[in-house]
């Protein structure tokens, strides 16, 4: 089920979903909502957004790392052996 809301500046469509949380998290969520004047749903959406952005940033960081192709498909499985040989052990 999709729920669409219209505000003065935008049309925002959201999919309804259910989330199961334990009692401790539920109590903490209710306390934060009451203290901040925000709805529980708003806090959950903000948390999901932060999580997605952090995951995306992590992936972006990984894409910037250089890659190396040794031409040897077994090199990764023999890394300890190769390092020992390289350091003269």
How high is the pLDDT of residue 38? Answer: 97
The whole-model pTM stands at: 0.54
- Which comes out higher in pLDDT, residue 55 or 26? 26
The arithmetic mean of pLDDT across residues 45-64, rounded, is 81
Asked if the model's pLDDT at residue 5 lies above 70, the reply is no
How many Å apart are CA 30 and CA 50, to the nearest integer? Answer: 19
**Structure confidence at residue 2 as a pLDDT band (50, 70, 90):** low
- C-alpha to C-alpha distances, 10 to 2, 4, 7, 41, nearest whole angstrom: 16, 10, 5, 19
Asked if the model's pLDDT at residue 62 lies above 80, the reply is no
- Which comes out higher in pLDDT, residue 3 or 72? 72
């Amino acid at each position: 089920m999709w729920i669409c809301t219209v505000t003065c500046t935008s049309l925002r469509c959201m999919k309804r979903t259910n989330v199961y949380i334990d009692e401790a998290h539920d109590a903490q969520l209710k306390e934060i909502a009451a203290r901040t004047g925000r709805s529980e749903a708003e806090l959950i959406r903000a948390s999901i957004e932060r999580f997605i952005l952090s995951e995306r940033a992590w992936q972006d960081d990984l894409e910037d790392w250089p890659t190396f192709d040794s031409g040897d498909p077994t090199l990764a499985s023999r890394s300890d052996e190769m390092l020992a040989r390289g350091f003269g052990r």
